[in-house]
Amino acid sequence: MGDIARQAPDKDTGEDLYQYLLERITNLENRNLELREQFRQMESEKRYIETQKIRYERELRKLKSEIEQLRSPPLVIGTVTDVVDNNRVIVRSSAGPRFLVRTSQLIDPDLLKPGVRCTLNQQSLAIVDVLPTSYDSQVYGMELVESPDERYESIGGLEPQIVEIQEAVELPLTKPHLFEQIGIAPPKGVLLYGPPGTGKTLLARAVAHQTNAHFLRVVGSELVQKYIGEGARLVRELFELAKQKAPSIIFIDEIDAIGAHRNDSTTSGDREVQRTLMQLLAEMDGFENRGDVKIIGATNRIDILDRALLRPGRFDRIIEIPLPDFHGRLSIMHIHTKGMNLGENVDLAEVARLTEGKNGADLRAVCMEAGMFAIRSEHETVTQDDFMKAIDKLSLDFDKHHINTSYGAMFA
Ligand SMILES: Nc1ncnc2c1ncn2[C@@H]1O[C@H](COP(=O)(O)OP(=O)(O)OP(=O)(O)O)[C@@H](O)[C@H]1O
Ligand SMILES: [Mg+2]
């Protein structure tokens, strides 16, 4: 190229010079294009790095504030006991003493009510935030999320009782206008009582299945707690949760555990149970409007229940669940043999006749034992003979039980 440059003026022909300059121009243009391209690439790289920088800065800020938060002193938990005026409030700190404190401007004054939990600054004890109410985890455990499988059809021989419970529990929740029209207050709750194994728990489970209401289930003995006041608190929280989730049904199974007759008992354990019962009575009275909360109680010792629990206004309907009669037993047998492979000669009416005085749970046991006999003798179907053996076996077991208890009575 140096040669050309040196030779170019020598040639002195305009044509060549023209060619030469043209070549240089295209070369320079190409170079220019290249550099522009490089410039564009650099630009986009710069932009990318800038956004990256912004991202890292943001992350840094977040981490710094996180460190700040972790370093900040813990807040004290307290409970509002009284609201004096717009920014002075009396709180009780979790340690016990009460303080007159100021509240943060950011807190909605409507939220500050006596009984609300709040967080307090450690030094000034000013209210920093209002906490949501919390319930005991045990109370949350009482809520049935999945509805049970039982339906009214899987209950044998309790048709009138089902109608009563439907009227008292389902109807007020599903058709409240009927009660408004007639002008009566709907029943608040029902108490199911009767001998063991007659289907009380089953009936309550069917109600849970049949209604869309929230169902809270608790066994009376769960409400008996170790420390003073704990049982009463559980009852209060149970009703509060039910009210919050209304429409809802509270089912208290084996209510005799806390509802037994109050007497002048002196043990502190008994007194605690009585306090729990009193809280239950107060909640059932609905000093505050109880809303759409219905109560179902179940017991097999109505005779020992406190009279206060039985008066109208608490359980408005007291429904007896008796031992099944012949037709009841027959329909219970039909229900429990529905899934069984029965032989042609099986006469369920005969079985129902022979099981006079037995309850639903016994009949279910008869079906199961009959099935076991069929398995033992390697039949493909369950025969009448299997049922007879099962009845024999079960009534034999009952007789044995009687013998044992009479021995016990002799030595007592
Ligand atoms: N009327 C009935 N129809 C169909 N099955 C029944 C009936 N009664 C009882 N059973 C059967 O007996 C079992 C026990 O019944 P359930 O638990 O309802 O008794 P309960 O009345 O609550 O007794 P307890 O007073 O001892 O708690 C049920 O799971 C069901 O299989
Ligand atoms: Mg029961």
**208 C-alpha to ligand 2 centroid (Å):** 15
| E strand or H helix at 352 | helix 348-354
- Which ligand 1 atom is at minimum distance from the Cα of 155? 3
- Establish whether 198 is an annotated binding residue: yes
Query: Atom 10 of ligand 1 has which residue's CA nearest to it?
Result: 360
Quote the DSSP letter at residue 346. -
Asked if 234 and 242 count as a contact pair (C-beta separation under 8 A), the reply is: no
**26 C-alpha to ligand 1 centroid (Å):** 100
- Of 282, 285, 232, 293, nearest to 258 by C-alpha is 232
pLDDT over 70, % of the chain: 91
**169 C-alpha to ligand 2 centroid (Å):** 18
Ligand 1 pocket by C-beta < 6 Å: which residues? Answer: 155-158, 196-202, 298, 300, 332, 335, 360-361, 364
Give the pLDDT mean for 50-70: 94
Asked if 326 and 352 count as a contact pair (C-beta separation under 8 A), the reply is: yes
**156 C-alpha to ligand 1 centroid (Å):** 10
- Tell me, what's the pLDDT at 46? 97
- Establish whether 243 is an annotated binding residue: no
- Dist CA 325 CA 157 (whole Å): 8
Q: Give the model's confidence band at 400: pLDDT under 50 very low, under 70 low, under 90 confident, else very high.
A: low
- Ligand nearest the Cα of residue 200 is 1
- Establish whether 144 is an annotated binding residue: no
Q: Give the model's confidence band at 269: pLDDT under 50 very low, under 70 low, under 90 confident, else very high.
A: confident
- Tell me, what's the pLDDT at 290? 57
Residues whose CB falls within 8 Å of the CB of residue 314, separated by 6 or more in sequence, listed in order: 188, 189, 281, 284, 285, 308
- Dist CA 139 CA 41 (whole Å): 64
Query: Atom 27 of ligand 1 has which residue's CA nearest to it?
Result: 196
- Tell me, what's the pLDDT at 408? 41
- Establish whether 211 is an annotated binding residue: no
- Ligand nearest the Cα of residue 203 is 1
- Which ligand 1 atom is at minimum distance from the Cα of 202? 18
Q: With a cut of 80, say whether residue 306 has pLDDT above it.
A: yes
Q: With a cut of 50, say whether residue 59 has pLDDT above it.
A: yes
Give the pLDDT mean for 182-197: 89
**230 C-alpha to ligand 2 centroid (Å):** 25
Phi, psi values for residue 330, rounded to 5° = -65, -45
Residues whose CB falls within 8 Å of the CB of residue 396, separated by 6 or more in sequence, listed in order: none
- Dist CA 389 CA 314 (whole Å): 46
- Establish whether 294 is an annotated binding residue: no
Partners of 143 in beta bridges:
216
Comparing 7-11, 202-206, 317-321, which segment has the lowest mean pLDDT? 7-11
Q: Give the model's confidence band at 35: pLDDT under 50 very low, under 70 low, under 90 confident, else very high.
A: very high
The residue with greater pLDDT, 67 or 407, is 67
Structure tokens at 66: 């996180």
Query: Atom 29 of ligand 1 has which residue's CA nearest to it?
Result: 202
pTM higher than the cut 0.95: no
**255 C-alpha to ligand 2 centroid (Å):** 10
The 3-class SS string of 48-104 reads HHHHHHHHHHHHHHHHHHHHHHHHCCCCEEEEEEEEEECCEEEEEECCCCEEEEEEC
Substitution site in 158, 161, 198, 367 for ligand 1 pocket (most atoms within 8 Å of beta carbon): 198
